[in-house]
Structure 1
């Protein structure tokens, strides 16, 4: 029976090598398919139960060996919505069944893929080149909190991002101990100060607590400008997103060196309301707080460093409930040869309404939206799933995989992996390696046919003996 067994064994060898060649062919065909995972072939011998001194090599069987966990090289595409996973994990995706726009119905089943060439369709869904729709969780753009607990198909529309009224101005600056105003004369003590009386016969612009009106009359603008120094400007917004430019000016009102009743250096902050105001109209408003510094130039009042801005209307825009935050050391009074305010930072937290300009994907898997008003906000968290046995996933068309009992349940989260935005993972097929395997497979197949030919000749010799 040895010759007949050799025939059947050679046939299994040919079948196994044919199976291997089929896998090699598929790997080469998909060497340029994004996210493709090659299928290797493993061989297993089939040995009949025989006595110890009569054992034979036996037949062979071929099995597929998955490479789902072997990463392909990332390729930069310059498409912001593309992403490649650097490390373990799969994108969670779904399939469309029917409908369009907000009425689109999906299969509501989680599938998994490494193909990250996602791009927006006409309805705002992120879909890859094989037609699978990306899943994740929406993020509230205002609070930054993730919405919901289960991944759903992501749909990002170009809705308008609402305006936010300015509530705080961040201010960091140094005010000169001796302000070089237009009226300042080093030989005349107090000439650098903003004083009452003859300086402003119409109205004392200092704080009400100091006996002033807290406003600069339009008739006194020139006098006021000669007794104060610029403090910088910043654009703020009301609840409708309308912009107004806030111009700041500092005026020193007392020197501690002059002696009682002054014991500290005191300044007043003014905000321009209408620089073209006529007589009897308000040109500048006082913040209404005495800003004081100790002998080391550190601000001692107001406590906490917050200076409330005056409620006012600038250019028809109502500005109210704004506070200037300086911290304890951001606003100082130190010597400065220029005699002018050195504003290191002026910022604010408001913005006008905006529309979505572009999106990108961060390393943490967030879909980041950049809006026309300059705001950069996280819009969604992409769902990433990892498996204890990723190579046991079932392959589907289009580079997708399906969970199996052998693969285990998905573990949601990036873990130690990261996303590379603007990139797509390439096939993990190595053409040179596949050609090497193809040559070996061809030789093994030919060798098996030689065995069949030899067995056939041996059988013919047996039949010739009978004749």
Structure 2
């Protein structure tokens, strides 16, 4: 009978512990990151009054006769079930989805604690801390490489609230554009005849347009943007008559005596009129027109424009205004305007001081054959900047070619040395990346409107830190007043072989034990570690409906055990009454 008393006492004690645990669960129903606990019971050693016997002949075996001695709390298990995630209005609040713990330290990383409560803030010194003042551990950006090395040891995450980023001089410009190869263009410019100094006939520097001194006439367009579409052998004739008619035929092609470029045609016209009138000149004027001038003292010229044996009506229409008389009094005759296919784009680049300069690229189609097309490319910067050792020093001309399928042929890149002449570091090397040769990942030349689809550069001016946001990998991304964003630090996460083996030390934190295993430190979203959700907190995983139901179960268990004691007491009282 005494055994039942002590069994009841053990039941009361065990259920008292269960009540304490459930009370703690309910008390922390609104504690961020809290994980509820469950009490597990087990029976005590039973008293054996008769051992088990094996079957003997015709007599069957007998089971042991045992009386249990009560119950005990065998373990209290922490349940690391995912809590619901609540969105907050604080961008430094972090919630973990799935497994893992944040790492915090109260002593600069000498000892680590682990938590699921991501209620973090920056203190006055820029330390990233939890509500206990423990500093969150992770990795910082390397000031030299600007990268975050997650293979390095973790340390305090501290970000200077007055952080600035220095200017980064441009080292690379990437351009992706299409230069129209078709028979009709919308982007076009007048052609010019340049002299050896780079000046056109009206004396203006034609730097921005980048026109070469000779253009393939077969690549030119009329004022409607329609290609002349010349083929080898296309020709026309000019008849000059100053008393004796002389016919000169001009044939487009690459053969001896043929013209191909604007300079070829101009010089052939010049030779023809010089033979008819002393001092007469043929030029290409600033309006993109061939111009014949007959000065005073020469011979009056009667000009006829005649279709050739292999007529090209477009070319004939261009030249037809030369028809008529040019008196020897300084009078002129001019053709219709000729245009070339062009395209321009510009981008701001930065020097070592963070000063912004405009880098302009201008393209003009200058030749085309059956295998490729060639465009003049002029790169220019505003004064007093320099990119060339030759005068004028603020522009550099080169050529870019394309294959017959529209892919880039050469070059794939071009380097320039920029000097701003404003106190910044000189000879700043800038690489202009135009794509991969024989590929379509950069510059192309298709039958489509000329357009720039992507133009980027890697420079920027200096800036001050204006805000921080955190991504799902736990990277703290700083936004600066210059419009740039950089990863400044990354929050470390820990996982354990046995989460239930961790020891709770209050304030929402845990420490490792011999049964939790060592922490495996790494990035979020790697290994068994979950992802990080910013502006969110993980709520307590306490289920009130379960906890309240468990209270009833524990209460009834406690009451039942108390009945065991009172009933045993009544039986003892009855026994004592036998003597009286």
SS in 1 for 2:362: strand
Alpha-carbon distance change, 389 to 297 in structure 1, aligned in 2, over 3 angstroms: closer
1: CA distance, partners of 2:573 / 2:187? 120
Alpha-carbon distance change, 37 to 345 in structure 1, aligned in 2, over 3 angstroms: same
2:174 aligned to 148, 163, 170, which one?
Answer: 170
How much does 1:285 deviate?
4.1
What is the aligned partner in structure 2 of residue 113 from structure 1? Answer: 115
Matched, 1:308 2:420: no
1: CA distance, partners of 2:112 / 2:89? 28
1: CA distance, partners of 2:106 / 2:33? 17
1:136 aligned to 132, 138, 150, which one?
Answer: 138
What is the aligned partner in structure 1 of residue 153 from structure 2? Answer: 150
2: CA distance, partners of 1:427 / 1:383? 22
8 Å contact from structure 1 (residues 194, 228) kept in 2: no
Alpha-carbon distance change, 68 to 396 in structure 1, aligned in 2, over 3 angstroms: farther
Rg: which structure is higher? 2
1:422 aligned to 535, 540, 564, which one?
Answer: 535
Q: What RMSD, in angstroms, separates the aligned Cα atoms of the two structures?
A: 3.3
8 Å contact from structure 2 (residues 10, 70) kept in 1: yes
How much does 1:44 deviate?
1.2
1: CA distance, partners of 2:421 / 2:179? 25
1:446 aligned to 542, 559, 569, which one?
Answer: 559
How much does 1:310 deviate?
6.4
- Any residues of structure 2 matched to 1:377-392 within 5 Å, and which? 377-392=486-501
What is the aligned partner in structure 2 of residue 82 from structure 1? Answer: 93
2: CA distance, partners of 1:247 / 1:107? 52
What is the aligned partner in structure 1 of residue 73 from structure 2? Answer: 62
2: CA distance, partners of 1:91 / 1:34? 13
1: CA distance, partners of 2:13 / 2:367? 100
Alpha-carbon distance change, 199 to 61 in structure 1, aligned in 2, over 3 angstroms: same
8 Å contact from structure 2 (residues 357, 381) kept in 1: no
2: CA distance, partners of 1:431 / 1:237? 60
TM-score by length of 1: 0.80
SS in 2 for 1:233: strand
What is the aligned partner in structure 2 of residue 91 from structure 1? Answer: 102
SS in 1 for 2:102: strand
8 Å contact from structure 1 (residues 118, 126) kept in 2: yes
2: CA distance, partners of 1:242 / 1:151? 37
Q: Give the number of aligned pairs.
A: 422
- Any residues of structure 2 matched to 1:294-333 within 5 Å, and which? 294-302=403-411, 305-309=412-416, 311=418, 313=420, 320-328=428-436, 329=440, 330-333=442-445
Alpha-carbon distance change, 161 to 248 in structure 1, aligned in 2, over 3 angstroms: same
1: CA distance, partners of 2:405 / 2:575? 116
Higher helix share: 1
2:519 aligned to 405, 410, 414, which one?
Answer: 410
SS in 2 for 1:109: coil
Alpha-carbon distance change, 358 to 66 in structure 1, aligned in 2, over 3 angstroms: farther
Gaps of 5+ in 1: 97-105, 185-192, 212-221, 276-281
8 Å contact from structure 2 (residues 478, 487) kept in 1: yes
2: CA distance, partners of 1:172 / 1:375? 22
SS in 2 for 1:20: helix
How much does 1:200 deviate?
3.7
SS in 2 for 1:288: strand
2: CA distance, partners of 1:400 / 1:181? 67
